[in-house]
Structure formats: C-alpha cells, structure tokens
Amino acid sequence: MAFRLIPREEKFYTDFQALATELKHGARLLEEMLEPDRPVWNKADEIKEVEHKCDFLTHDIIQRLNRTFVTPLDREDIHALARSLDDVMDAIDASATLVRLYRLESVRFGARELARIISACTEQILLGLTALEKSKGLAGPAIEINRLENEADRIHQQAVTKLFDDERDPIVVMKWKEALDFLEDASDRCEDVANVLEGVMVKHG
C-alpha cells in the first residue's frame, strides 16, 4: 500500500454530490413551473434561491481547490466539473426567468417535455457523481445523459416547427421560440457535465 505524507482532500466528492442534489431540486421546480396549463411564475423565485446555493457551493469548491495540495482528481477536471454543474443551474434559472419575464400565459408543446428531460438529466448527473467517488459505474449515467440530450434536440425541433405552424402572433412566436431555446440549452449544459465525467473516466478508468 502506498504511503502518503499529505492526505488527499476527499471532500470534493461530497461537494459535487451536494451541488448535484441542488440541480435536481432546481430542475424539479422548473417541472412544477411548467406542469400546469398556465406557468407558475413565482416558481422563478424559488429557482433563483437554488441558483444562489449552487453559486455558493461552486465558489466553495474552487476556493478549496486553490488551497488543496493533493486532490482526488486532476485539478482541471475538478474545475471543469464544478463550472459545468453550475452552468446547468444557470441555464435552468435563465429558462425560468424568461418564462416570467415574458409573462408567458400558457404552456406550449415542448416546454413541459423539455423540463422533464432536464429533470431526468439531473437525476443521472447525481448518479454519475455518486459513481465518481466509487470509481465505477460512470459509463451508464453519461450514456443516458447523452441519450436524453438527443431526445431534447428532437423535441425542440418538433416544438419550434409546431410553434411556427400554429401561432399567428409574431410576438408570441418570438417569446416562445426563445423560451424553447433556453430550455434546450439547459439540456446541452447537462451533456457538458456528461462529457467531463467521460473524460475523467478515460483518465482513471
């Protein structure tokens, strides 16, 4: 057994899992916002609170990275993972903010479906980060996130096509097109996390 004069700082795993738990919470709130026929605008405030928590956790991870000598993963991977997780929450928050900002009054096809996919992605992210600590089982969540992101692309395309076919008010078209784009972007940010996890898996597999 190798002897280590300076122990590795293992709290990064706990921090990542805490961050992923908040992402899952934020994604669930986005689902709740878009579940009824009329969006629940005040959910944007709850989502903003989660976004602030994620900012704090991300800052804490980066600060710990700066003062830790021996890390359980490569420094650039810890930094990339923290940033990519925070980007997911930022995208969820941006989507919710836009729905309220534009005062969207009815949930169109695609929005609810994309929110469910984002939520499913965050569940896989939490599974992936739990697997990261055990150094096994990373492939499954990463593959599933990629599959879900492909599904989000498909639904986004269908939703935009339906929006242009069905809606005659150009202002409504503009608002909903942007909202759908923001939701699809959130699924892209989840895929970014999967890509970082896959990179770690290659290095440490």
Q: Is the pLDDT of residue 5 over 70?
A: no
Q: For residues 191 and 70, what is the distance between their CA atoms, to the nearest angstrom?
A: 28
Q: Judge whether residue 7 has pLDDT over 90.
A: no
Domains of the chain by start residue, with CATH: 11-204 (1.20.58.220)
What is the distance between the terminal CA atoms of the chain, rounded to a whole angstrom? Answer: 20
Q: What rounded mean pLDDT belongs to the chain?
A: 92
- Nearest Cα neighbor of 39 from 51, 54, 29, 25 is 29
Question: What is the pLDDT confidence band of residue 54, given thresholds at 50, 70 and 90?
Answer: very high
% of the chain residues with pLDDT over 90: 80
Comparison of pLDDT for 175 and 134, the residue scoring more: 175
| Tens-place pLDDT, residues 106-133 | 999 999 999 999 999 999 999 999 998 8
Residue whose pair of structure tokens reads 């939703």 in the numeric block: 159
| Mean pLDDT to the nearest integer, 12-29 | 95
Kindly report each contact of residues 73-82 with a partner whose C-beta sits within 8 Å and lies 24 or more positions away, as own/partner.
73/12, 73/200, 73/204, 74/200, 74/203, 77/196, 77/199, 77/200, 77/203, 78/12, 80/196, 80/199, 81/16, 81/193, 81/196, 81/197, 81/200, 82/16, 82/19, 82/58
pLDDT at 144 over 80: yes
- Give the predicted TM-score (pTM) of the model: 0.92
Give the whole-angstrom CA distance, residue 20 versus residue 125. Answer: 7
